[in-house]
């Protein structure tokens, strides 16, 4: 449910607008002056803010200036009964999303709200996309071995559905790439793929990260925050290293999967969510269940489809293709002429015991690009790759 703040000194205007918006199933807060409105806007997360221009004390333009200075990302819609073209232009230049004259027109209000929500969603998607592109630039599932072909076939079959997927495999094998491929080939690919690394977030913060929190829920909760389940609504939520999730978070994730609702930390309000969940782990969850560290009911909710990613040692025939892929993109990123491996260098790479899997291979290819000449030889590989065979 979208949350809207109305800042207006006229009680009748606030009440009328609130009734209209609540009828349209929005959650509405009110503020009777600029100072109160600014305090609420900075303390909570609002999808849209309506702000009157002419108010005693702090007027609407001052509120807008303060919100822009604070880098508040909520679209601000200015309203006024004394407006003109100059006022509207000034408000837009200062950072307002739109300007509406009083008396307020219902259809205009609803259209403006829809456009503002579309803009917010676009901004969030753009941020996620930029982050993803920077992180995964040049990445894809490379290989022709039977194990890789089986994964690609499974992705093509499973991706169009909303079935939950559990991806297993050792660290560095490319589980995140499988999750990305599932999302990119799904009907949700126009919405974001949101990643949460459960192993990298302290256990006391994982629930806030997943479900969000209300202001004051704990010491550092200075304002409302949306969780990853909310942000991923319409798209895909990738729970990486889910085997490291705390027992408390596991119980809440199970409820979210069962009922498609969540509760922010510090709140009893239920929020509907609609995201496809893809999980990954490097652990044997059956063993974790047997030892009481992972919920069996959550495992069965997640493991509708199981995809296992083989280690690099199990697919050494793919190393020449992967190494060529990496060297092309590394040279391009560094702005240098493309280097190449000779055949003996590729053979030497295949002889290495790859305990770090594809992640380790990429690091070594980058090292060879930096330290070696135009053609990388077997001698270079033996000198700089530190083979462990």
| Domain ranges for the chain | 3-120, 137-308, 312-384
| pLDDT by 10-residue block (mean), the chain, 389 residues | 89 90 90 94 90 91 92 89 78 90 86 86 66 49 92 95 97 94 93 93 88 85 88 95 93 94 90 95 96 96 97 96 94 92 96 94 96 95 75
State the pLDDT at residue 72: 86
> Span 137-308: which CATH code?
3.40.50.300
In CATH terms, the superfamily for domain 3-120 is Response regulator (3.40.50.2300)
Q: Residues near 140 by Cβ (< 8 Å), separated by ≥ 6?
A: 177, 181, 325
Domain covering 312-384 assigned CATH 3.40.50.10210 in the classification: no
**Three-class SS of residue 16?**
helix
Look up residue 226 and give its two tokens.
Answer: 């949306």
State the pLDDT at residue 140: 72
State the pLDDT at residue 126: 67
296 closest CA partner among 254, 259, 261:
254
Residue 267: alpha-carbon gap to chain centroid: 22
State the pLDDT at residue 105: 84
**Three-class SS of residue 10?**
coil
Instruction: For the chain, give the number of residues.
Output: 389
Cβ–Cβ < 8 Å for 266, 224: no
State the pLDDT at residue 131: 53
Helices H, strands E: what count in the chain?
16, 16
Neighbouring-strand partners of residue 49? 5, 76
- Examine domains 137-308 and 312-384 and report if their fold is the same: no
State the pLDDT at residue 135: 46
DSSP 160-215: TS---EEEE--TTS-HHHHHHHHHHTSTTTTS-EEEEETTTS-TTTHHHHHHEE-T
Strand 165-168 to strand 305-308: parallel, antiparallel, or no bridges (unpaired)? parallel
| Cα gap 95→64, rounded to integer Å | 7
């Amino acid at each position: 449910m979208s949350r809207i703040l109305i800042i207006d000194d006229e009680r009748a205007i606030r009440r009328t607008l609130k009734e209209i918006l609540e009828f349209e199933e929005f959650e509405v807060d009110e503020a009777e002056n600029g100072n109160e409105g600014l305090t609420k806007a900075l303390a909570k997360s609002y999808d849209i803010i309506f702000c009157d221009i002419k108010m005693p004390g702090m007027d609407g333009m001052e509120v807008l200036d303060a919100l822009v200075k604070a880098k508040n990302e909520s679209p601000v819609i200015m309203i006024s009964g004394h407006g003109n073209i100059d006022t509207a232009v000034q408000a837009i230049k200062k950072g307002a999303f739109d300007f509406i004259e009083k008396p307020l027109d219902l259809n205009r209000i609803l259209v403006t709200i829809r456009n503002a929500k579309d803009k917010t969603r676009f901004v969030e998607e753009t941020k996620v996309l930029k982050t993803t592109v920077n992180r995964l630039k040049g990445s894809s599932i490379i290989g022709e071995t039977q194990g890789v072909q089986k994964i690609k076939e499974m992705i093509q079959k499973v991706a169009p559905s909303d079935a939950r997927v559990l991806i297993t495999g050792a660290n560095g094998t490319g589980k995140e790439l499988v999750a990305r491929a599932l999302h990119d080939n799904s009907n949700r690919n126009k919405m974001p793929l949101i990643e949460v690394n459960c192993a990298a977030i302290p256990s006391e913060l994982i629930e806030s990260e997943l479900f969000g929190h209300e202001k004051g829920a704990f010491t550092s909760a200075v304002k409302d925050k949306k969780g990853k389940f909310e942000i991923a609504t319409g798209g895909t939520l990738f729970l990486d290293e889910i085997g490291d999730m705390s027992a408390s978070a596991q119980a809440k994730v199970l409820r979210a999967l069962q009922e498609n609702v969540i509760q922010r930390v510090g709140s009893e309000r239920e929020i509907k969510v609609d995201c496809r969940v893809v999980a990954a782990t490097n652990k044997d969850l059956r063993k974790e269940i047997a030892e009481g560290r992972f919920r069996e009911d959550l495992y069965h909710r997640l493991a509708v489809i199981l995809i296992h990613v083989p280690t690099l040692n199990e697919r050494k025939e793919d190393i020449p293709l992967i190494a060529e892929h990496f060297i092309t993109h590394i040279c391009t990123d560094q702005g240098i002429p493309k280097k190449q491996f000779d055949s003996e260098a590729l053979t030497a790479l295949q002889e290495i015991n790859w305990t770090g899997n594809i992640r380790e291979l990429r690091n070594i290819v980058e090292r060879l690009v930096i330290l070696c000449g135009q053609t990388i030889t077997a001698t270079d590989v033996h000198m700089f790759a530190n083979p462990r065979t």
